[in-house]
Amino acid sequence: MRHRVKGRKFNRTASHRAALLRSLATSLLKYKRIKTTVAKAKETKPYAEAIITKARKNDLAARRYVASLINDKDVVKELFSEIIGKIGERPGGYTRIIKLGNRRGDAAEMAILELVDYNDVINAKAEEHKEKKEAKARAKKEKDEAQEVEEAKVVEEKSAKDSK
């Protein structure tokens, strides 16, 4: 029985597990939202929240500690400049897990792990992408209609010649 056994091993060595958590946390802070399995999301959530909590101190020791965990300098800069400014007043609970259902290939439970206060940023990007997609669809539809009209004229000319 697993009484009081914390953490998941993911069938990986300790160093591989640590690299996985660092990578997931870095991606979360970089993209504000990541799609992964539920187990990995549940394991990454406290890891990433501990990094954000440490970064809230915003002193040199905190910067060095966070830089040792996150291997991307740009993400560290963004964490201390933008993310802390936006989530700084929140007393914990910086991330959210949204379950998506099972993955098609292996039926693994999938989830989205996202930073709580960045929904508007993600939704704005999604809206922009949706508008581009709709505009492209409208342009294609107009193009197809124009081609159908041209084809219809050709059909009428052929029928007019056949009737004479």
**Domain regions of the chain by residue span:** 14-116
Q: Which helix (H) or strand (E) holds 95?
A: strand 95-102
Region 149-158: mean pLDDT is 56
Region 74-98: mean pLDDT is 92
Region 116-126: mean pLDDT is 75
pLDDT at 164 over 90: no
pLDDT at 158 over 80: no
What is the pLDDT, as a whole number, of residue 87?
Answer: 86
Region 45-67: mean pLDDT is 95
Q: Is 106 strand, coil or helix?
A: coil
Cα-Cα-Cα-Cα dihedral sign, residues 79, 84, 85, 90:
positive
Residue 150 DSSP label: H
27 and 76 in contact (C-beta within 8 Å)? no
What is the pLDDT, as a whole number, of residue 160?
Answer: 52
- What does the alpha-carbon distance between residue 152 and residue 66 come to, in Å, rounded to a whole number? 66
Place of tokens 């996985």: 20
Mean pLDDT across the chain: 88
Q: Which helix (H) or strand (E) holds 30?
A: helix 14-31
The interaxial angle of helices 38-55 and 60-69, nearest 10 deg, is 160
Q: Under CATH, what is the fold of the domain 14-116?
A: 50s Ribosomal Protein L17; Chain: A, (3.90.1030)
What proportion of the chain, given as a percentage, has pLDDT over 70?
A: 88
**Single-letter residue type at 50:** A
Q: What are phi and psi of 29, to 5 degrees?
A: -70, -30
Terminal-to-terminal C-alpha distance of the chain: 91
Region 47-65: mean pLDDT is 95
Closest CA to 115 of 83, 77, 137, 143: 83
Region 13-41: mean pLDDT is 96
Q: Dig out the tokens for 142 from the structure.
A: 């107009």
pLDDT at 43 over 80: yes
pLDDT at 156 over 60: no
pLDDT at 117 over 90: no
Region 127-154: mean pLDDT is 78
pLDDT at 79 over 60: yes
